[in-house]
Structure 1
Amino acid sequence: MTSIPGFTRQTLHLPGIDLSVQQAGQGPPLILLHGYPQNGMCWSRVAPRLVQHFHVIIPDLRGYGHSAAPPDDAAHTVYSKRRMAQDIIELMDALNLPKANILGHDRGARVAYRLALDHPGRVTRLGIIEIVPTGDFWDAWMADLAMTAYHWTFLAQPAPLPERMIGADPVAYLDHTLASWTLDHTLATLPPEALDSYRAQIRDPARIHAMCADYRAGATTDRRLDGESRAAGARIAAPVCYLWAEHGFPARTGDPLGIWRRWVDDVQGAPCRSGHFVQEENPRAVLDLFLPFFRAGT
């Protein structure tokens, strides 16, 4: 199994799932959560700096990387962000961590903010990269955004349609997706070892199904839960720091930081020059913003 240099990887058998987890460093715990169509290797350009200050914990989310990939259910709860957030709570319990800092990108950021809403006492500080909340993103859909973020509806179609279409040439689909979301529309900015790991996982039909199930949950269960939280006036209690790409998905919503202010009392943020994969395309921006933020909580 490929790991970030300096990190050790192990499979933890948690009550609800087996997660593959990389760890390194000493100090306050910092959990890094990856997005689609990636895995924990996406942090390889920032994790070596973060371990100088933190105990860095990088799980592969359920269905991704080397973690277990259970089949979806009819209600699309298996890959709901509430269930995936519970996986991270179980991981924290296994590591005897009452609280942790959490930094998430893309789908991992959706897991992170749901965890902060459902388990407010477990999050010290929360970092969000390149998303707005799921319900708000759906609400922002217009023609231009729908064309760019077409995968939100494509992957959410009933099984097995998207699985079969992706499975016909999975690596070509992956490479197209990754390249189209980078600033320069090539794969050149992605670390070769990480790219190899993304290509390996997309060849596995069970993981293709899991990724589709992730988005089916986003269109149904996750959207409903966000609506319920918003109607109840739920707020994220932890301080939040938010980074978005000038050329990414949230920028097309008009005022991404303003959207987060509806959910968080203490939020700061900034844009940066990057495509969607900020921690790989512009790792300096990630470190410059989040290192001071998380260190301020120690």
Structure 2
Amino acid sequence: MTPRIDGFEYRRVPVADGVALNVAVGGAGRPIVLLHGFPQTHLMWRHVAADLAADHTVIVPDLRGYGDSDKPADTDGRTYAKRTMGADVVALARALGHERFALAGHDRGALVAIRTGLDHPAAVTHLASLDVLPTLDTWEVMHGTTAAVGFHLYLMAQPPGLPERLIGNSADEFFGHFLDIWSRNPEAIPADVRAAYLAASRGAVTSIVADYRASAFVDVADDTADREAGNRLRMPVTVLQQDWGAALGFDAKARWGAWASDLDHRTVSCGHFMAEEAPADVVKALRDLLAR
């Protein structure tokens, strides 16, 4: 049986025409939505969600194209744009009775969270991003041999066909590679959770590639338009990241400062999967954010 977050209720919530999200909901109080990253599902938040549910309504979906959520075909190049996926998040919260909510995202989910905050500032009260730069900045800082760490970004940016076939023919090895190299503590992702991540990713190759392809094109265009218009995140923002900014030769805090005025930027000592490797640090950061 696929693992679940203990004590949470599971449901499917329609958020767009022909698209419903698998979502776990628990707790009571001010709402916070938690968005997972790659190559994971909502399960990555299991420790953090259980803690926050003591005094918050915690909403933990699988993003469209991931996990047990619907995976529509990408017919126009925008089906997996972060703007589209952000609209899903707002529709999900409203369907559950919340016009305003805090929002935290890790990796791909953080990109969705950032776009949601930019597009829907009246809905997002607080925003947290775990271990990622905004999309436009990600592409700007990668260059030379250091860009090898992002080889998957370039692979999945290619036209439809080749990346889907390459990844689909070795799905467990491909997705497992990132679970291995991005974690400092393999025990943080137990065998049953790892198996759930691999099974979910194996069944979502086309939509995962479409998500990444959107980030190379339409998401960059949307970020560029916001930068040129001076559109910034208006809510309190907390950023948690590893020390990869210094390692890769750029100032991550300064990059974030261009997008958020009310910014708390923290470096954490763990691997990429910080909600699983250092859940107490993540919970503290989120509680500090929610108190601002």
TM-score band, normalised by the shorter chain? over 0.9
**Partners in 2 of 1:51 and 1:285 — Cα distance?**
16
Whole-angstrom CA distance in 1 between matches of 2:82 and 2:60: 17
Is residue 242 of structure 1 aligned with residue 244 of structure 2?
A: no
**What is the aligned partner in structure 1 of residue 210 from structure 2?**
213
Give yes or no for contact 2:131–2:241 (8 Å, CA) kept in 1.
Answer: yes
The match for 1:230 is 227
Pick from 265, 269, 293: which aligns with 2:265? 269
The residue number in structure 2 matching 1:87 is: 88
Cα deviation per residue 1:204-249 (whole Å; 9 max; x = unaligned)?
1xx1001000110000000010000000000111010110012x57
Cα distance in 2, alignment partners of residues 169 and 249 from structure 1: 31
Residue 258 in structure 1 maps to residue 276 in structure 2: no
Distance 1:285 1:253 in 2: 25
Q: Does the 8 Å CA contact 1:131/1:250 hold for their aligned counterparts?
A: no
Cα distance change on mapping 1:237 and 1:164 into 2, 3 Å: same
Unaligned regions of 5+ residues in structure 2, if any?
none
Contact 2:28–2:56 (CA under 8 A) maintained in structure 1:
yes
Question: Partners of 1:123 and 1:53 in 2: how far apart?
Answer: 18
Counterpart pick for 2:33 among 5, 21, 31: 31
Matched to 1:196, the amino acid is A
Are the equivalent residues in 1 in contact too, given 2:13–2:23 (CA < 8 A)? Answer: yes
Q: Which one of the candidate residues 272, 283, 286 is aligned to 1:287?
A: 283
Residue in 2 that maps onto 1:162:
163
Note the C-alpha offset of 1:251: 5.7
- Offset of 1:174 from its aligned partner? 1.4
**AA in 2 matched with 1:159:** P
Report the Cα distance in structure 1 between the residues aligned to 2:249 and 2:4, rounded to whole angstroms: 35
1:202 matched residue in structure 2: 201
- Structure 2 match to 1:66: 68
Shift of 1:196: 2.0
In the superposition, relative to structure 1, how do residues 190 and 78 fare at CA in structure 2: closer, same or farther (>3 Å)?
same
How many equivalent pairs are there? 290
Cα 1:141–1:268, aligned 2, differ >3 Å: closer, same or farther?
same
What SS class does the counterpart of residue 126 from structure 2 fall into? strand
- Mean CA deviation greater in 147-156 or 250-259: 250-259
How large is the Cα RMSD of the aligned pairs?
A: 1.6
| Partner secondary structure for residue 223 of structure 1 | helix
Q: Is residue 181–residue 276 contact of structure 1 (8 Å, CA) maintained in 2?
A: yes
Between the aligned partners of 1:98 and 1:253, the Cα distance in structure 2 is 40
User: Secondary structure in 2 aligned to 1:291?
Assistant: helix
What TM-score does the superposition give when structure 1 sets the normalisation length? 0.93
Q: CA offset at residue 51 of structure 1?
A: 0.7
One-letter amino acid matched to 2:85: M
Given that 2:35 and 2:104 are in contact with CA atoms closer than 8 Å, whether structure 1 keeps it comes out as yes
- What's the offset of the Cα at 1:167? 1.4
Q: Which amino acid aligns with 2:269?
A: R
1:121-160 to 2 correspondences below 5 Å: 121-160=122-161
CA distance in 1, matches of 2:249, 2:131: 12
Q: How much does 1:178 deviate?
A: 1.2
Give 1:192 deviation, angstroms.
Answer: 3.2
Runs of 4+ residues over 3 Å off in structure 1 = 248-251
Q: Please give the alpha-carbon distance, in whole angstroms, between the structure 2 residues aligned to 1:250 and 1:264.
A: 20
Residue 177 of structure 2 aligns with an amino acid whose one-letter code is H
Q: Distance in 1 between matches of 2:247 and 2:125?
A: 27
Distance (whole Å) between structure 2 residues aligned to residue 145 and residue 82 of structure 1: 29
Q: What one-letter code is carried by the residue in structure 1 that aligns with 2:90?
A: I
**Unpaired segments ≥5 residues, structure 1:** none
Q: Distance in 1 between matches of 2:194 and 2:35?
A: 17
